[in-house]
Each structure stands twice: as structure tokens, then as C-alpha cells.
Amino acid sequence: MARDPGLYDYIPYYRRPNIVWPNGAKIAVWIAPNIEFYEFQPPPNPMRTPWGRPLPDVLAYSHRDYGNRSGWWRMMEAMDEAGFRGSVSLNVALCEHHPEIIEACAKRGWEFFSHGIYNTRYTYGMSREEEAAIIEDSVATIRKWTGQKLSGWLAPALSNNTWTMDLLAEHGVEYTCDLFHDDQPMPVNVKSGRLISMPYSLEMNDVIVYNSNLYSARHYGEIIKRQFDQLRAEGERSGTVMCIPLHPYLVGQPHRIEPFAEALRYIASHDDAWLATGREIAAYFNERYYDAMAQAIAAAQA
Amino acid sequence: MALGEDYLNYPWRRHGMDHDRYPWSNLFERKPVTWPNGARVALWITPAVQWFPLDMTSKPFAMPGGLTMPFPDLRHYTNRDYGNRVGIYRILDVLAERKLPASVAVNGAIAERYPSLVRDIVAAGHEIVAHGLDMGHAHHSGLAPDAENEIVARTLRLLREASGQEVTGWLSPGRAQSHATPDLLAENGVAYCCDWANDDMPFEMSTRGGPLLAMPLAYETDDRVVMLDFHHTEDSWAEQVKDRFDVLYREAESHGGRIVSIPLHAWVTGVPYRIGKLREVLDHILAHEDVWPATGRDIVAAFRSQA
């Protein structure tokens, strides 16, 4: 096993090209709702058992299902109200299960990228060919149901293999959300084609905030604002990216929605914040800054 | 172990759910529900009264609140039993002061062990909801159907006899079910079940025994989940329940009647330093117009009459 993932090279925060986002914005803010489908009776995987209790784990299953019956609508309204579009991290089978949700998001001009087929199907134990098959399934499913090109990838339940990034680039995926090493987009070392890492953030992810860090709903609202303030100030030197990854079954709970909505209103009240989608950030970065960043990285290795 | 050959096959990849218990629907596009007297919110208070047997195991899964120390785990056994002796009476006092009805989820074993407690709950005008036999009897698919049916039937028999009530509500220990649980509940005369956590309003499940109403018991503002799993203070718990109420109350204006459930555990909220926060939460809610304090049974009747 390698001791370094070999996916990116070191470049200190002070030695970056000066990124300026559209209209002079200092920070690009994107929201990535994970709209997920967890299976009632998923097949076993050698590396991870999907549910903590024996099947059927009705409490855990129904808790996730809350997102698709109740929570997504509240989350979407909060985003609408503040003027945010989403970049949906989508378990693509949701297109078949709940096309009503896909339609509502598509109508709002949201982006769809892939978060695997189901959140209960991991890539652990897959061959390269099997993993290629789920990428191809994602490309085809998203195109069929939304007409969109698949631009981004977040591995299902963050399950990765050593070849995953190469496969993504081979299939024309432009950005990965699985690398957490930076607050700016970065080139990823792939064997062919081009792939960048898009800042996604575990720290802002509602699952981590509520379930791992055990913060309250109101505190989540506070840390979103603090994260934004800091990254916006730093964007003066070189534009930063802030992501708010969400799960409608969590943030869409009645006791959680209001502090979140308030934090979005706060961000939207700043005219030097670019409210973007993942694909828009990737395209803008690739066109204007990829080469300069690659050169700066090469210089940093010298 | 390698992946099974069918790991990339998706037999349930179709419109709607990946099982046949209920169809999908969007909470915000359903026909609005009207509560009695035009109330905006039904207030459904659901304290649980639980007995954790000293010999319980953590198989096939660790029961929330279950015993964890080497036998005899007197520490957790007695801390939980505190709720049955002291904690529940504090909660009953708070309810009586405000003349509020509740649906008290009671393990069947309580009826055998502490019949006077069941009588006190009934005398105070509350509904008894069946809460399984005891916290050592989880429902799971490793149980033979006959064995599970016997647990359901015995639980209901004990509670029906001790309370004189029909007992039509059910909450499984740990909200855990087998594949057969909804069928067995309906076949044993249960009208509504509180285990599933996927909605803010009731919805019908289909079972072998006819329809079973899934009632929305708020999992994530449950006192045990918030204070013992998330380690939030009782102040934060109260704030979260009030925030939850405020949003549902606001939604009721545009989307029809909503339900605010207050799941409690006698051994959690019934502790002296926490009980005042229950008063605070209830007083916040009762300061609003158009709140309907109701039992699960009342809510089911009102809901089904407009279905």
C-alpha cells in the first residue's frame, strides 16, 4: 500500500496565483445537497455493513427516507429564498425512485452530479471494470433524466479505490469532491485527461456537524457564517471556495431549518460572494487558472 | 470476501419505494388536514416507561439505553428503573398542572411488575401505548414469526388488562422491527405505530392485517437522543423542541394541521434538573393559540375521518 495517495503535490497557501471570481467576487459559495436513496435491503459488502441493526433497520432507513418525503422541500425553500441553486450530489437511482424531486430541482436550474447509484452500494471490493460501470450508469442516468452532462463526482458513502480518480478523468468527469486538502480548486494527478478537486468540506457537512461533532442546529448556523467570513476575507489575496454539503434528512428537520436559512441569507447579503454551482466553478477555474496553478505547483516542487 | 455477482443489479430500482409498505408522497403537496376547532398544531406528548431486565444482552443490536456493564449491571438497571419509580411521577405532575393528556408508552412488563403505575397513568386520563414486552425484547427478523406474535399478543394482553383501555397504539423497543412486525401489529388490533421516522404527518402502511397508521414521533428531538446521544444540554434540548414547534406552527398556516410530538423518557427528562425544561417547552407551546393537546388515539381518529 502506498504511503501517499499521489493525487496532488504540495503548494503552500501563500504561493498561489491570484484567483478572482466573476464580477470581482472573492469567494465562490456552492451548496451540495446529498439527495440520497438508502436501500431497505441492500446486498452485503465485505468492507462495510450498510445498516447498524439487522435488516430491516426501519429506524435508520426511515430516518434517511425523511429527507425524500419531508426534508428536501424545506431545504429547497430555504435555498430559493436566499437565491441559491444546488449542485446535487445524487444517488442516481433516485431518478427512478423519485423523479418528482429531480424535476423540482431541475426546474430551478440546479446541477446534478453523481454520488453513486445508491448510498448503500460501496465501491469497496469492486474491480476497475465494475467501478467504471457505475460511472457509466451515472453518466447515462443523469443525461436521461436531466439532459445534463455529468461533471462532478462524490464517491458513494465516500468509498474509493486507488484507481478511482483515473477512471473519473477517463470518463470526462471534471471535478471530484472526495479530496479535502484545500480551500481552492486544485489539479489532481491523473493518468489521462484533466480532473480537479473541488473544495467540498467535511467541517461544513451537516452529517459531520450534527452527528460527529454533535453540534446543535443553532451552532451550525453560526459556524457557516464564521467559515464564510474567514474565507471571504482570505479571498482578497486569492479567491476561495466554500461548500455547504447537506443532507435533507438532517438539515430539513423542522428544528434545524431556520438557523440554516438565516445563515444563507447572511451569505447572500454580500455582493462579493459568487453563488455558483460546482460545474460553474470548475469551468471558470479551468479556463482561467488551471494552468497558472499547475505552474505554481511545479515551481513549488523545484 | 468478494462482492456478490449481483452487486451491480438493482432489483428495486423503480418508481417509488424499494418495498411495498407505503407509496412515496411529498409532505408539502398533500391534502391539508384539519384538526378539531381549526387547531394549527396537535400537541402529542409521549413519555416512555421502560424496564431494562438485568439479564438483557446487546444482541442482535445494542438497545438504546440498554445495559452495557458486566453482569450484574446495577448501575444502568437502577438508573433506568428510577424513571418508573420517580421520574414518571414528575412528568405526570407537569402534565396535571397544565391539564394535558399524553400517550404514555409502557412496556408490557411494567403492567406485571408495577401495576399501580399503570393505574396511576390511567387515572390521570392518559392513553396507554404498548411499548413492547420490555427493553430486552427487541423485535427483529431473527425471531420466528410465532415467537414475535407471542410477544406482541402478550404485551397487548398485559396492558389491556391492566389499563382497561383498548390499547391501539404501539412503539417498539428501540423503534426496531422485523419484516413481519407491521403485519403482526395490525393482526393484533393495533391501529397506529410510532416506529418509523420518515414524516411529520401520519401515513398509512399496508399490512396483512389491513392498514396501519404510521404516526410521526420526532426522532431527532427525542430527549434521550438529544441529551444522551448528542450530549446537548437540557437548555439546548428545550430550545430545539421550541424551534421545532415554531416551524411546524408556521407551516400549519399554509399546509394544514401539523403534529408536534414530544418524545420523553421517564428516566431522562424525569431527572430533577431536567424536569423544569419540560415545563418551559410546554409553556412556550401553550402560549400559542390554536394548539390542540391530544393523544395519539385522538389524532388517529381525526386524521382518518378526513382520509
Residues of B in contact with A97 (CB under 8 A): 13-18, 24
The pLDDT of residue A8:
98
Decide if pLDDT at B215 tops 80: yes
Domains of chain B: 34-304 (3.20.20.370)
- Per-residue model confidence (pLDDT) at position A165: 98
CB-based contact, A105 to chain B, within 8 Å? no
**Mean pLDDT, residues B114-140:** 98
A152 touches A113 (CB < 8 A): yes
Residue A19 has pLDDT above 60, yes or no: yes
Q: Of chain B residues 243-272, which have a CB less than 8 A from chain A?
A: 243-244, 246-248, 251
By Cβ distance, the residue of B15, B28, B179 closest to A56 is B179
> Which pLDDT value is given to residue B44?
99
For chain B, percent of residues with pLDDT exceeding 70: 100
pLDDT at position B5: 83
C-beta separation of B104 from B128 below 8 A: yes
Instruction: Give the closest-approach CA distance of A8 to chain B in angstroms.
Output: 30
Q: B163 vs B130, B156, B204, CA distance in Å?
A: 11, 10, 27
Are B8 and A130 in contact by the 8 Å Cβ rule? The answer is yes
Chain B interface test: which of A37, A49, A69, A213 (most B C-beta within 10 Å): A69
Phi, psi of B281 (to 5 degrees): -65, -50
What percent of chain A clears pLDDT 70, i.e. is strictly above it? 100
* pLDDT tens figures, A165-192: 999 999 999 999 999 999 999 999 999 9
- Taking the C-alpha atoms of residue B200 and residue B42, their distance in angstroms, rounded to an integer, is 12
Angle formed by the axes of helices B272-286 and B234-255, nearest 10°: 20
Q: Which residues of A fall within a CB distance of 8 Å from B14?
A: 96-97
Task: Please give the DSSP secondary-structure letter assigned to residue B153.
Answer: H
Determine the pLDDT at residue B1. 54
pLDDT digit string, tens, across residues A103-113: 999 999 999 99
Question: What pLDDT score does B3 carry?
Answer: 87
Residue-level pLDDT at B178: 98
Q: Which domains does chain A have, with CATH numbers?
A: 22-301 (3.20.20.370)
CB-CB neighbors (< 8 A) of B221 in chain A: 253, 255
Comparing alpha-carbon positions, the chain B residue that sits nearest to A76 is B28
The three three-digit cell numbers of residue A58, written as one number: 426501519
Could you read off the pLDDT of B233-257 as tens digits, one per residue?
Answer: 999 999 999 999 999 999 999 999 9
Task: Evaluate whether B215 touches B296 at the Cβ level (below 8 Å).
Answer: yes
Nearest residue of A to residue B216, measured between CA atoms:
A66
- Sequence-distant (≥ 6) Cβ neighbours of residue B117 within 8 angstroms: B49, B84, B88, B110
Task: Tell whether B2 is within 8 A of chain A (Cβ).
Answer: yes
Pairing status of strand A186-188 against strand A195-197:
antiparallel
DSSP string, chain A: --SS--S-----TTS-----BGGGBSEEEEEEEEE----SSPPP-SS--S-SSSSP-HHHHHHHHHIIIIIHHHHHHHHHHHTPPBEEEE-TTHHHH-HHHHHHHHHTT-EEEE--S-TT---TT--HHHHHHHHHHHHHHHHHHH-----EE--GGG---TTHHHHHHHTT--EES---S-SS-EEE--SSS-EEE----STT-HHIIIIIS---HHHHHHHHHHHHHHHHHHTTTS-EEEEEEE-HHHHTSHHHHHHHHHHHHHHHT-TTEEE--HHHHHHHHHHHTHHHHHHHHHHHH-
Per-residue pLDDT band at A38 (split at 50, 70, 90): very high
Average pLDDT in the B41-52 region?
A: 98
* Per-residue confidence (pLDDT) for residue B49, from 0 to 100: 98
Instruction: Decide if B198 and A65 are in contact by the 8 Å CB cutoff.
Output: yes
Can you give the pLDDT at residue B2? Answer: 73
Minimum-distance CB partner of B231 among A43, A214, A254: A214
Question: What is the SS3 assignment for B260?
Answer: strand
- How confident is the model over A151-170, as pLDDT tens digits? 999 999 999 999 999 999 99
- DSSP, collapsed to helix, strand or coil, labels residue B74 as helix
> B106 in helix, strand or coil?
strand
Task: Give the model's pLDDT for residue A1.
Answer: 85
Which site among B14, B18, B19 would you substitute to test the A interface, given the most A Cβ atoms closer than 10 Å to its Cβ?
B18
Distant-in-sequence, close-in-space partners of A82: CB < 8 Å, separation ≥ 6: A261, A264, A265, A267, A268
